[in-house]
Amino acid sequence: MSGAPERSQAGETTVLPGRPDPEAMHPQEARSLTSRPSRADAAFRLVSYSAGGTTVAIMLAVGVFLSLRAGDALSVAGFSFLTEQAWSPETGEFGIAAVLFGTVSIALIAMSVSVPLALGTSLLISEVAPGRVKSALVSLVDLMAAIPSVVFGLWGVFFLQANVIPVAQWISTYFGWIPFFAVTDADGNRLTDASAYTSSAFIAGIVVALMVVPTQTSVMREAFSQAPVGEREGALALGSTRWGMIRTVVLPFGRGGVIGGTMLGLGRALGETIAVYMIISPIFTINWQVLKTGSNSISALIALRYGEASQFGLSALMAAGLVLFLITLVINFTASSIVARSRSGAQSEA
């Protein structure tokens, strides 16, 4: 048609002389790729930010509260609060050296028992067990996490302790040359009586280990289950055994989950109160012999002395709680950062 634009073979539009360019008459504007959020998205974002802000605010409020209430005791004790073993706020001689050592020793014993159990259980659930068995095991582990602490404490006192004492005696007999496993009196003579092995950090650590296994198992299992299917199948296609595939693909991929779950369990073990309080025989001296009767922890100290504490004694207990709060806070934040930097954590965030 006369006067109409013609299209060349190269696909370009050619405008005949004397005719206006349609693109010049109606220039195209750049389209905006941003969109206004809907009311539902705006409400969800507001609720999410509010929940996160509230959680942080509560955590800060707890820290500020403990700091203010612990100020009187810390001003009197000073740095010796971390080095003094005795606990007598009324006489001015008090510190958390002994209870802090007991807290750490119980937690380390718990980790040495719980980490292998959690690692094996998580691999069993994610890599070995078939569908129905896997669902049953997941439900069983979750149910174990819901058992109250007092039940674990009662079980530890009335069942586990009597069955663990022979094990502790055997360890002391054959490994007593290691200072931690020796059970001796003040003169260095070896003790063989069963009463010397009761209410120890070893027994409390085993009970706490069983309490933190579900938490560790859940974190590790979630990390292992996210291992790429292509890498799994590639390892098996190249002739790898199931264990070889787990060793070369699943475990390296879930390393962050293993470390994160271990540290989260450690944070829980450091703060466990009721079960430890029911099992240990509280002392206020550093007991290097973990199989021997007598230990203590910060949480058990607070539960033991809270009811009878004076105003200044309550301030000292608040100072002990502040130290425990800071330790668990550092451990949990470290675990979160490790999990976030791992491959499994990065994929879960994506």
- Prediction pTM value: 0.82
Cβ–Cβ under 8 Å, residues 68 and 295: no
pLDDT value at residue 109: 95
8 Å CB contact between 344 and 250: no
Report pLDDT for 347: 55
In the prediction, which pLDDT does 105 show?
94
Domain limits, the chain: 54-349
* Rounded-to-integer distance, Cα 258 and Cα 248, Å: 15
pLDDT reported for residue 7: 52
Residue 21: its pLDDT value, please? Answer: 55
Tokens of 276: 């430890």
Give residue 343's pLDDT: 58
- The sign of the CA dihedral 102, 207, 137, 126 is positive
What is the pLDDT, as a whole number, of residue 316?
93
Residue 171 carries which side chain, given as an amino acid letter?
I
Q: Determine the CATH number of domain 54-349.
A: 1.10.3720.10
Per-run averaged pLDDT (10 residues), the chain, 350 residues: 51 55 58 70 88 91 92 89 90 90 94 94 90 88 88 92 93 90 87 89 94 92 88 88 89 87 89 90 90 91 88 92 91 77 55
